[in-house]
Amino acid sequence: MKSVIKYTIISMILLISVIQVAGATFSVATPDVSPSSGSLSPDTPIYFETTLTFTSTGDSTFPGSDDIRFYTDIGKSAHWKAYVILNGIEPNDPTNTATGSTLTIDGWELEYPNDNTLTIDVILEGEVPSNIPGTGEYTIFKITERDSTGIERTGSGYVYEYTRNFVDPDDIINSINVAKVDLENLRTDIDAKSALGVDVSQAEAKYNEADAALRSAEVTTDYGQGADYVSTATTAIAEGDTLLKQAYATKYINDATNVINHIQAVYNHLTINMSMSPSDATLLNLNSQLTNAKTLLSSAIDKYNSGSYLDAQSKADEALTTAQQINSTANQLYTSSKESIFSALFNNIFLIIGVIVAVILIFVGYTFFRNRSGWDELG
């Protein structure tokens, strides 16, 4: 029994110790960064400043066995200044300085009773390296809390990182050349679709946007700005291509819809106005093909609404082809129905004329009789 109590007490002490060691996290204020946005080219000066605020759940403001490590990819040009601020009192001179990729502050420098408030103001100054290995995202500023073995603690409140895009001049030149080829392909596609009667106005606007961005990219001496211009151009080209596919599908959907609506109107005319039986062999075939065309058109519209514009155009083309195959039949039936009306009128023309003459004679006789009666009364 005593042994059990002994081991229980030891376990509780160890648990409390672990909790105390891991008992500090930090939050990072919105940094002051210059340049504040955009890609960064080699040798661009960088300024970064922020404040860390620590929150402890243990007996101290920070575990003495841990440390705080600051890191940057800008390398040997980096100059660090850190001001450890206790209870809001900021020292005149930095408490910690370093040159190069890292700055480390040992935990014992940050360990105070937890009824104190602890913050650190950190300033990083340097330049983008002149020989970056390639265009991509690089770490400007990273903070990690490490335990006594040098292992980084993970999870919210233990890690913070701020990154920016660094550009390699050679990559930007290559990107400009690739974008110019893509832009020329878009131009060719726009002209081809325009010749087919497609509304290319929106795609044309994106082409002009991309063209202007690439022209700016070619003349700027700021490769960071050049990268942003290329990004703008690349995005506009992609959007232009999508808008062109959308417009192409729209034209075929509209064309198919018009032909299908015309055939439907003819079918309605024949079955309603001309009283043709829907079971008539010609009408049966017409309605069957019309239904098929409608099904294809419905599929095209579904694909269009889901953003599959090439598939939508293909299905709409099938619907249009199917409708056009029976359109001539529908037109012939409509023409025949009109001829039937004229034929019926012509075959009965004399009867119609006779009826009209009879009506006129009756009207004239009636009028004469009334007038004659009036004269007799006057006498």
pLDDT at 272 over 50: yes
Residue type at 369 in one-letter notation: F
3-class secondary-structure state, position 141: strand
The pLDDT of 106-118, averaged and rounded, is: 94
- Predicted local distance difference test score (pLDDT) of residue 279: 83
The mean of the pLDDT values for the chain is 86
Residue type at 337 in one-letter notation: S
| Orientation of helix 201-219 relative to helix 223-268, angle to 10° | 170
- Predicted local distance difference test score (pLDDT) of residue 17: 39
Q: How far apart are CA 180 and CA 110, in angstroms?
A: 55
The pLDDT of 140-158, averaged and rounded, is: 92
The pLDDT of 224-240, averaged and rounded, is: 95
Count the neighbouring beta carbons within 10 Å of the beta carbon of residue 32. 12
Q: For the chain, give the percent of residues with pLDDT over 70.
A: 83
Could you write out the DSSP letters of every residue in 218-283? HH-S-HHHHHHHHHHHHHHHHHHHHHHHHHHHHHHHHHHHHHHHHHHHHHHIIIIIS---TTSHHH
pLDDT at 67 over 60: yes
- Predicted local distance difference test score (pLDDT) of residue 119: 96
The pLDDT of 244-271, averaged and rounded, is: 94
The pLDDT of 220-229, averaged and rounded, is: 91
- For 163-213, write each residue's pLDDT tens digit: 999 999 999 999 999 999 999 999 999 999 999 999 999 999 999 999 999
- Residue 368's pLDDT band (boundaries 50, 70, 90)? low
The pLDDT of 88-111, averaged and rounded, is: 96
Paired sense of beta strands 45-56 and 118-127, if any: antiparallel
Half-sphere exposure in the Cβ direction for 136 (13 Å, CA): 7
pTM over 0.85: no
The pLDDT of 248-263, averaged and rounded, is: 96
- Predicted local distance difference test score (pLDDT) of residue 155: 84
pLDDT at 340 over 70: no
Report which of 265, 318, 270 is spatially closest to residue 294, judged by C-alpha positions: 318
Report which of 223, 247, 113, 104 is spatially closest to residue 170, judged by C-alpha positions: 223
242, 309 contact by CB (below 8 A): yes
Alpha-helical (H) ranges within the chain are 2-21, 169-195, 201-219, 223-268, 281-305, 309-347, 349-378
Give residues with Cβ within 8 angstroms of 176, minimum separation 6: 214, 217, 218, 226, 230
Cα→Cα distances 161→28, 143, 203, 320, Å: 10, 6, 39, 56
* 245 bridge partner residues: none
pLDDT at 157 over 60: yes
